[in-house]
Amino acid sequence: ESRRFARNLQQVLELFETTCRTREAELGRLDAVAGDGDHGQGMVLGAAGAVEAGKKALTRGAGARALLVHAGTAWAESAGGTSGALWGAALTAAGRALSDDEGADQGAAVRAMLNAVEALQRLGGARPGDKTMIDAAVPFAETLFQEFSRTSDLVASLSAAAERAQVAAQRTAELTARLGRSRVLGEKSVGTPDPGATSFALLMGVLGDYIGQ
Ligand code: ADP
Ligand code: MG
Ligand code: MG
């Protein structure tokens, strides 16, 4: 059961990599407006590193927890950059909420995602309004928690959370960057959505579609 879950998680990582490759140029352009333009590249390298590590972990018989812990470490190492460290920590934190021996029920899957967002907040120290991925991740976690508490329906809750993240990511266009590299050119970022918030919403949409299919 846990092995099957681990294989599903590996498929999600593969979808993340494909999606990042497809959107690499666009994410790079967003980051070039007020940052250093490498966000698309960082996401591709991170996701590819995670996929490689996940493959190796699966051949060694890893369960869900070990798979995500290894994938997260590899994401951070392969990506470099701020967002790479944050995505790595988020995957690892999600893994730590899961078991290697049992499959995850829907509640455990929700707890893993909430744990991942907490790790993003803790490690990055960003607050809502700073124009970072937190501006998509926090509304995502809020909606996921609220909807799942109300309905106990993972597919519907995740779909609602991913949609909220998408709207929130678009709205970061109105904000001035106060953290990360873009703070230097903060005013220049007004009118363009934050790259890290955009990629977060994008990948949560992919995750929601995968779970819903
Ligand atoms: P770098 O800034 O090192 O080049 P990336 O370009 O890959 O890294 O990622 C930039 C993104 O990282 C930003 O768009 C923002 O969403 C996110 N980010 C930067 N600093 C923080 C932080 N302290 N907390 C959360 N997210 C952050
Ligand atoms: Mg960058
Ligand atoms: Mg950089």
- For residue 195, the domain's CATH number is 1.25.40.340
- The dihedral of CA 9, 23, 174, 119: what is its sign? positive
Residue 131 predicted with pLDDT over 90: yes
Domain that holds residue 163: 2-212
- How many domains does the chain contain in total? 1
Q: CB of 207 within 8 A of CB of 91? A: no
**Ligand 1 contact via 40 beta carbon (within 6 Å):** no
| Per-residue confidence (pLDDT) for residue 10, from 0 to 100 | 98
**Ligand 1 contact via 36 beta carbon (within 6 Å):** yes
Gap from CA of 186 to ligand 1 centroid (Å): 13
Match 């809020």 to its residue by tokens. 142
Pocket test for ligand 1, best of 38, 133, 192 (most atoms within 8 A of CB): 133
| Per-residue confidence (pLDDT) for residue 104, from 0 to 100 | 82
pLDDT band, very low/low/confident/very high, at 181 (cuts 50, 70, 90): low
Mean pLDDT of the chain: 95
User: Which tens digit of pLDDT belongs to each residue from 30-74?
Assistant: 999 999 999 999 999 999 999 999 999 999 999 999 999 999 999
**Ligand 1 contact via 24 beta carbon (within 6 Å):** no
Q: CB of 154 within 8 A of CB of 144? A: no
